[in-house]
Amino acid sequence: MKSLKDKKVVITGGAMGIGLATAKRLLNEGATVTVWDLNEAALFSAKTELEKSGEVFIHICDVTDKKRVYELADIAVKEMGQVDILINNAGYVKGGELLDQSDDEWEKTININLTALVYTTRAFLKGMYDRNSGHVVNISSASSTLGVPGLAVYTATKWAVWGLTESLRFEALGNNKSGVKFSTIHPSYIKQGLFEGAKLGFPGSLIVPLVKDHDVIAKAIVNSAIKKGRYSPKRPVTVNLNVRLRGLLPDSWFQKLMILMGVPQSMKSWTGRK
């Protein structure tokens, strides 16, 4: 299992939720962490909590502002020496069917969840290529394995994140940069945070239960993706059934199974982060 001692890490959207839980785990492993977040109050609160465990740098960042991203990437290298691991965790959720929200909301969803990953990855990939060493971890979603009504544009971005990450992995291999790794993480609904209130119906909730807290996903990022090098950890692990059953069943059967599992109603009770 790979050691993370003295590794230098950048986490986007790292002041709360999955990002904060991941920063805690990385610091406990001996890494140095830079946290980017748009929420200034949460960012300074996170720094107070995190610096008890190790060296932490914080910066206010809107990841959709590419000029700011490239500027902070240079600062991260100056402050930490280099960046070994990038965790693209910043995300945005706006519930509702396609006609329920404005173009601006859907564009914001795409820009934060997908376009920003192009900026952040480009900002650090050359350095990783030069060293033939590094790891990019992108937060996708269980929704990247099926269509979720009431979450269509978000779902589209998470399908795209999975495809982007796999493509980059093959690009690295084609460029003889096998030391540069890429992983996606696929959480199902988490009891707290951005997806609070969302849940599958019966029997889906028995097969794919709610993720109890953000640290479950942080553990998947640190232990499964980074330390063990796994390509696409899914939590709970039963999310893997979506991929396997889609490949095995006729499409009409798979669609009916998703209805039986309660996927179409899963966002009806969604409240989000309070």
* Active site residue ranges: 154
Q: Is the dihedral of CA 24, 26, 32, 38 positive or negative?
A: negative
Preceding omega of 250 cis (within 30 degrees of 0): no
Q: Residue 138: CA atoms inside 13 Å, Cβ hemisphere, count? A: 30
Give the β-pairing of 180-187 and 234-235. parallel
Q: 57 in helix, strand or coil?
A: strand
CA distance 138 to 132: 19
Residue 21 burial class via C-beta count within 10 angstroms: exposed 0-12, middle 13-18, buried 19 and up: buried
Are the C-beta atoms of 138 and 183 separated by less than 8 Å?
Answer: yes
Q: What is the C-alpha to C-alpha distance for residues 86 and 35, in angstroms, rounded to an integer? A: 10
**DSSP one-letter code for 96:** S
Helix 251-260 vs helix 240-248: crossing angle, to nearest 10: 140
3-state secondary structure of 214: helix
Helix (H) or strand (E) holding 210: none
User: Which among 157, 189, 186 has a CA at the least distance from the CA of 265?
Assistant: 189
